Chains A and B, each alone.
Chain A
Amino acid sequence: MHKFLIRSFVSSLVLIFTLTVAAVAKDVKAAFVYIGPTGDHGWTYQHDVGRKAVEAAGFKTTYVEGVPESADAERVLRQLANSGHDVIFTTSFGYMNPTNKVAKEFPNVKFEHATGYKREHPNVSTYAARFYEGRTILGTIAGTMTKSNVIGYVASFPIPEVIRGINSFTLAAQKVNPNIKTKIVWAFTWYDPGKEAEAAKALIDQGADVIAQHTDSTAIVQMAEKAGVYAFGQASDMDKFAPKAVLTSVENNWGPYYVDRVKAVANGTWNQKDTWHGIGDGMVVISDLDSQMPADLRSKVKKLQADLASGKVHSFTGPIYDQKGNLMVAEGKTADDGMLAGMMTYVKGVEGDIPK
C-alpha cells in the first residue's frame, strides 16, 4: 500500500512536471550562434552543452556553428530572428555590433550577447563568467605543484579578460609560493591546435613544469602529457585527453543561465541585464581534482572554492602591486568590477610586457 501511494505520488509529480514543461515549451524557441564547430571541446562545445540543457528543459533550439565575425554574422542573426526564434544567444565577442544592429530591427526578439559590453536596445542583454575565480584555484594548485618555480601560461589576446586571468592566476600562485614566475606566450589565437602546441613546447623548453592556458584546444594538455609536466583543462573537462597531465579543469557552465533566460522569455519576465557570474552561481565549475595532488592541497582547494563561492575570498584582494611596484589595490581592499573590466596591467611576478 505504501509503495503504491509513493509510486502514484511520484508518477503524478512527473506528470505535472511534464505538463508544465509541455505548456512552457509550446511557444518559445531559442537560437544559438557559435564561432567554432560544436566539436572543439572548448568554448563552442560548452555553449552547445548549455543549449542541450535548454532542450532538456523542454524548449526547441536551433544552432548555427562556424559563423565568422565578418559581414556574415548579421545575416545569420537576421535569418534566425525572422524564422520564429524568440531569444538568440550570440556566443562570441565579435558578434557585438551585428547583435545590436539586428536587435534594433526586431524589438520583439530577445538577444543575449556573451562577453560584450554594448546593450544599445532594451532587448539586448550581455553575460559573461568570472573565469578569473577559476584561475585563482589553478594558481593555487600550480604554485604548490611546481618544482622549477617556473609556470607557463599560453595566452590568446591581450584584452582585459585574459590579462585578468593571468593576474588572478599569478597572485594565487604567489600566495602559496612567493618564488614563482609566470612566463607568458601569446598565441594570438583562440583556437589553433598547432600554434597552441608550439607555444606550450616553447614554455616547457624554458623550464616550465606547470602549463596553464587561455586558448581553447586540447593541444596544450596533450603536449604537457607528452613532456611529463602538469596542465589544466580549459572550458571543458579535458582530463580524458591527458589523464596524467591534467590536474583539474575550469569548466564554463552556461546551462543554468541559458535555461533561466529562456524560461524568463517564456514567462514574460525577461528583462535587460548584464550578468557576470562566477563559482558561486555555478557558471564557473572546477572539475574533479586529480589524485596526484596531495590530500592537504585538495582540501585546501575545496575550501578556497567554497570561500570564493560565498564571497569570503576575492581573487583580487590587496595589497596588489603592478610590475613596477606601484600599488594597484590597497591592503584590505578588493578590486571593483570596473577595475576588473578594464584591467590592462600585469601584477608583480609576471614576466614580460603586454604586447602593444
Chain B
Amino acid sequence: MIKIVKRDQPSRAIFFFTPVLAIFLTLVAGGLIFFILGFKPFEALKFFFIVPIADKYGFSELLLKATPLCLIAIGLSFCFKSNNWNIGAEGQLTFGAIVSGGVALLFYEQEGFYILPIVILAGAIGGMLYASIPAILKTYFNTNEILVSLMLVYVSKLILDYLVVGPWSNPEGFNFPETRQFSDSAKLPLLFEGLRIHAGIFLALAAVVISWFVFYKTYLGFQMKVSGFSLKTAKYAGYKGKKMIILVFLISGACAGLAGVGEITGPIGQLHREISPDYGFTAIIVAFLGRLHPVGIIFASLVVAITYLGAETAQIFMQIPKYTGQVFQGMILFFLLASDYLLFFKIKFIGSKK
C-alpha cells in the first residue's frame, strides 16, 4: 500500500534533486510524445539534445543562447528570493535595448573605445528605469507588481514598434521597420573568429559571481532571504522593506537591460521589431529550474537554451514541428512544479496487513 506522509521539514536533498528529476521526466514524456507523433523517440531525442551541440559552432551557439537567459534569470532571482514577482523582464530587456540602441545610433559611423561602455551602461540604465515603475508603484501605491510588470512588457514592445517604424527607421531602408546597423565601435567584440559568441558572456558570468556574493555573504542577501520566507518577520526585524523592494527591482531590470544590449550589439547589430524570442519570460523557467541559486541558474540556462537549438535541428533533420521546443520548456516547468510536491511530502510504501 502507498501512503503519502507530510515531511516534518522540507528536504534539502530533494530541493536540489527535483530539478534533475523534472528534466528526466521531461525527456521521458518528450520521448513518448515523439513516439505518438510517429518518430523514433531515441533518434528524435538525439537530434534534440545532442546533435545541436556536437561541434564547436553548435556549442558556441548554445552559450550565445544561454547568455541572455542566464543574465536575466540571475536578475530575477534577486526579486524572486525576496518575494517580489517581477514578471516583466521581457519589457525591461526591450526598454534597455531601446535606450542602448538609441545611444548606439547617436554614435552612427563614429569610432572610439568609449562608445561601447556608454552603450552598455545605457542599456542597464534603461532596464533599471523600466523596472523602477512596478517597484515604485508597489512600494508607494500598493499595486500588484505581477500585473504592472507584465502589462509594461506590451507597452515596451509598442514603443519599440513606434521607434523602428517611425523616427529611428533607416533613412535608406525604404521605410521597412528597422534602424541602421550600429558602427563597429558600438558592438560587443566577438570572442572567436567565425563564431557568434561575444563578450556579453562575461557580463553574465560577472552577474553570477556578484549574485553569489550578495546572496550568501552580505547583509542584504540575508534580508532578502528573510523577506522571502516571511514578510512579517522581516518587518518585525525592522528591515527597510521599501528600499529593498526598489533595489531588487533595479538589479533585476539592469540584468534584463544588459541582456537586451547583448542581443542588439551582439548578433543582431541593429534595432528591429523582434529582438528577443521572449527571453524575459523563458528566464522565469530558468530561474526556478536553477532553484534561484547562481550555479543552478548556469546549468538551467544551458538546459533551456538547448531546447531552442534542438527544436531547429529536429525540424531540419527529422521534420518534427519546431514548436515542440516550447512544449519541452513548458514540460520542464510543469514537472518541476509537480515534483516540488516531494519537498513537503514523502511517499511511504507500507506492507499490506491481512
A71 touches B312 (CB 8 A): no
B273 touches A79 (CB 8 A): no
CB-CB contacts below 8 Å: A316-356 with B: 341-342, 344, 355-356
| B313 CB contacts on chain A under 8 angstroms | 79
Interface 0/1 of A56-95, CB less than 8 Å to B: 0000001111111111101110111001000000000110
- Known A-B contacts A64-B312, A355-B165; A69 and B322 likewise in contact (beta carbons under 8 Å): no
A169 and B165 CA atoms in complex are apart in Å by 23
| A342 CB contacts on chain B under 8 angstroms | 174-175
7 cross-chain pairs, A with B, having the tightest CB-CB distances, nearest first = A71-B267, A69-B274, A68-B277, A356-B166, A159-B175, A66-B322, A64-B315
Q: Does A157 contact B (CB under 8 A)?
A: yes
- Known A-B contacts A79-B313, A356-B166; A341 and B272 likewise in contact (beta carbons under 8 Å): no
**Which of B174, B317, B321, B322 interacts with A159 by CB under 8 Å?**
B174
| CB<8 Å pairs between A and B, sample of 12 | A64-B322, A70-B277, A71-B64, A71-B196, A71-B268, A79-B313, A79-B316, A94-B274, A159-B165, A159-B177, A188-B161, A355-B166
A79 to chain B, nearest CB (A): 6
- Known A-B contacts A71-B64, A94-B272, A160-B174; A65 and B266 likewise in contact (beta carbons under 8 Å): no
**Which of B165, B276, B308, B315 interacts with A65 by CB under 8 Å?**
B315
| A93 CB contacts on chain B under 8 angstroms | 176
Which of B61, B266, B274 is the most central at the interface, judged by chain A CB atoms within 10 Å of its CB?
Answer: B274
Interface 0/1 of B251-274, CB less than 8 Å to A: 000000000000100111110111
| A66 CB contacts on chain B under 8 angstroms | 322-323
| A160 CB contacts on chain B under 8 angstroms | 174-175
- Known A-B contacts A71-B268, A94-B272; A65 and B312 likewise in contact (beta carbons under 8 Å): no
* Count of interface residues, chain B, beta-carbon cutoff 8 Å: 38
Q: Does A158 contact B (CB under 8 A)?
A: yes
| B276 CB contacts on chain A under 8 angstroms | 70
- Report, as a range, how many residues of chain A touch the other chain: 20 to 34
Q: Does B150 contact A (CB under 8 A)?
A: no
B263 touches A70 (CB 8 A): yes
Q: Which residue of B lies closest to A35 (CB)?
A: B274
| B315 CB contacts on chain A under 8 angstroms | 63-65
| B165 CB contacts on chain A under 8 angstroms | 157-159, 355
A80 and B57 CA atoms in complex are apart in Å by 14
Q: Does B275 contact A (CB under 8 A)?
A: yes
